[in-house]
Structure 1
Amino acid sequence: MSSPPAAPASRWPLILLRTTATALALLALLQVMLAGSFLNGTYDSLKDHEGNAMMLGTVVVLQLAVAAAVRWPGRGPLWPLWTTLLLTVAVIGQISAGYARALGLHVTLGVLLVSGILFGLVGAWRLPLPARAGLPGPNVDGSGRLPRPGGPVEVSK
Structure 2
Amino acid sequence: MSSPPAAAPRWPLILLRVTATTLALLAVLQAMLAGSFLNGTYDSLKDHEGNAMTMATVVVAQLVAALLVRRPGRGPLWPLWTTALLTVAVIGQIGAGYARAIGVHVTLGVLLVSGILFALVGAWRLPLPAQQARADGGPDGSGRLPRPVGPVEVNR
Q: What band does the TM-score fall into relative to the shorter chain?
A: 0.7 to 0.9
1:111/1:130 Cα in 2 relative to 1: closer, same or farther (>3 Å)? same
TM-score by length of 2: 0.82
Q: Residue 104 of structure 2: SS of its match in structure 1?
A: helix
Q: Which residue number corresponds to residue 36 of structure 1? A: 35
Whole-angstrom CA distance in 2 between matches of 1:12 and 1:19: 10
Aligned counterparts of 2:43 and 2:111: Cα–Cα separation in 1:
25
> Partner amino acid for 1:49?
H
Larger Rg: 2
Please report how far the alpha carbon of residue 56 of structure 1 lies from its aligned counterpart in structure 2 after TM superposition: 0.2
Give unpaired runs (5+ residues) of structure 2: 1-5, 135-141, 152-156
The separation in 2 between residues aligned to 1:66 and 1:139, in whole angstroms, is 33
TM, length-normalised to structure 1: 0.81
Residue identity matched to 1:28: A
2:154 match: none
Using the TM superposition, give the Cα deviation of residue 137 of structure 1 relative to its aligned residue in structure 2, in angstroms: 7.2
Q: What's the CA shift for 1:134?
A: 1.1
- TM-superposed CA distance for 1:20, in Å, is 0.1
Aligned residues of 2:7 and 2:130 also touching (Cα < 8 A) = no
Shifted more, 130-139 versus 94-103: the winner is 130-139
What's the C-alpha RMSD, in Å, of the aligned pairs?
Answer: 2.1
Query: 2:70: which partner in 1?
Result: 71
- Say if 2:133 and 2:143, in contact at 8 Å, map to a contact too: no
The sequence identity of aligned pairs, in percent, is 77
Matches within 5 A, 1:78-89: 78-89=77-88
Question: How do residues 4-153 of structure 1 correspond to structure 2 at under 5 angstroms?
Answer: 9-135=8-134, 136=142
